[in-house]
Amino acid sequence: MLHPVIASRDVTRYILDTFGLRAKKKFGQNFLINEQVVRGIAREAQVGPGDLVLEIGPGIGTLTQALAETGAQVKSVEIDRTLLPVLAKTLEGYDNVEIVPGDVLKVDLGEVTEHRPFTVAANLPYYITTPIIFALLEEDLPLQRLVVMVQKEVAERMIAAPGGKDYGPLSLALQYYSQPRLAIPVPARDFMPAPKVDSMVVVCDKREHPAVDVPAKLFFRVVKAAFSQRRKMLSNCLKTLGITPDQVKELLDGAGIDGKRRGESLSMDEFGSLARSYGKLLEP
């Protein structure tokens, strides 16, 4: 260990005081102060010498330090440029860490990761969790595993099964591209400042092939339509695809699905059948 463990209340407070820092709400900054959680995230990433890790939002280097200690090559994308001199100091001596200034939704991730297989490990800002996850999964990148800390409520949506209120487009997106599981509960008290909600670390192992054999664009167009009016029946929701009532009936009959059902009741395979039926409807 090159430096004292950053993931502690005393060290975090010392760093913030030394550099005159305060958590910025606009960047969703909350600093993790539980060493066991940080080490747990690094362990769940399953990386070591020769592996590449992409970290999003290193902050003051709390998780970055634990990832660096694995011996993996760590590339951390940080949007807050005022933290760059802080990171230069807190991660001084870790030759396997590179800080990349920029917005993860705008930088060329293929270029950053050198088009190599990589794992993502991140304490994601609450306000932009979903766009970041979608961007990582939808881009044609050699992503192997996603280990992310998110709001507990979001985590429950990520792993939700059909039939419940948590099940929706996010559940289907995660499960279409990966196999997600809950890994580490993180109470609000493990942060400085403490947020109003608890968090959860979720591990998503990227599938070699999508969960259903349907093009992503077609699949998610149907998913979006099915959840466009959550309390309404599929026969009504699917009209948002821009098709007539007769075509909606043809679409549902082709998939063998009752139009009186709601989107939240459909399994991944049933959405696959619905998307394939929609694809046939679009054929000239």
Ordered by start, the domain boundaries in the chain are 9-206, 216-282
Cα(283)–Cα(99) distance, rounded to whole angstroms? 48
Which pLDDT does position 98 carry in this prediction? 98
**Burial class, 248, CB count within 10 angstroms (exposed 0-12 / middle 13-18 / buried 19+):** buried
Question: How many CB atoms are located within 10 Å of the residue 85 CB?
Answer: 10
The encoded tokens of residue 159 equal 């792993």
Which pLDDT does position 275 carry in this prediction? 97
Global pTM?
0.92
The encoded tokens of residue 3 equal 């430096």
Residue stretches of the chain with pLDDT short of 50: 26-27
Which pLDDT does position 30 carry in this prediction? 82
CATH of region 9-206: 3.40.50.150
Which pLDDT does position 27 carry in this prediction? 46
Which pLDDT does position 284 carry in this prediction? 76
DSSP code for 22? -
216-282: CATH architecture: Orthogonal Bundle (1.10)
Which pLDDT does position 128 carry in this prediction? 85
At 172, which helix (H) or strand (E)? Answer: helix 169-177
